[in-house]
Amino acid sequence: MALTKVIGSGIGTVTNQFSDTNMSAGSIMQTTELSSAADFSTTSTSFTDTTYLLSITPQFTSSKILILSTIIGRVDGGGATLRAGYRWVRRVGGSDTVIANTDGQFEHLQVRGTPAEVSGVNGYMYVDSPSTTSAVTYVCQTFKQDTSDISAVRARALSTGGSLILMEIRG
């Protein structure tokens, strides 16, 4: 059911306006969208921040944050294996918490054989519970598996079809 906020003269007194504090659990409180992300490339065998990074400041500690993302990923190289992975991190006040791909170095892009390049679409939908009203930054990180023949792991620019949207959902 849609909610409508009525504003105007001559309609009488409206006593229960739809302020944020009156919104019911499950209501979308705010949405923010990444407006640009440049091509990113790394050769690191440790997780490294990509350009897919966006902040939101929840209005309530009980709020959930819905992360919707599409990243066009690519690995370049040559040899027997191309293996790389991505993960999502919540950053609050300089402290990082891994929230997706928490079991280590799970590989999202991999080929065994002798390719020179592998591309893929990495789509994420994740509901996080940051339990704070401080600014929260979400960042996608990537790594090259240390046994891989990769010359670069990439997260392509938004213009290639990528996206990152954060939605605060009232808890």
Domains of the chain: 37-169 (2.60.120)
The predicted-structure confidence for 87-130, as pLDDT tens digits, reads as follows 899 999 999 999 988 776 666 676 676 666 777 788 889 999 99
Using alpha carbons, list the distances in angstroms from residue 112 to 71, 115, 122, 155.
Answer: 22, 8, 19, 21
- Which pLDDT score is estimated for 45? 85
Tell the residue number behind the tokens 């990243």, with chain if given: 71
Judge whether residue 13 has pLDDT over 80: no
The percentage of the chain sitting over the pLDDT mark of 70, rounded to a whole number, equals 79
Contact 144, 77 (CB under 8 A): no
- Which pLDDT score is estimated for 1? 47
**Structure pTM?**
0.81
The percentage of the chain sitting over the pLDDT mark of 90, rounded to a whole number, equals 42
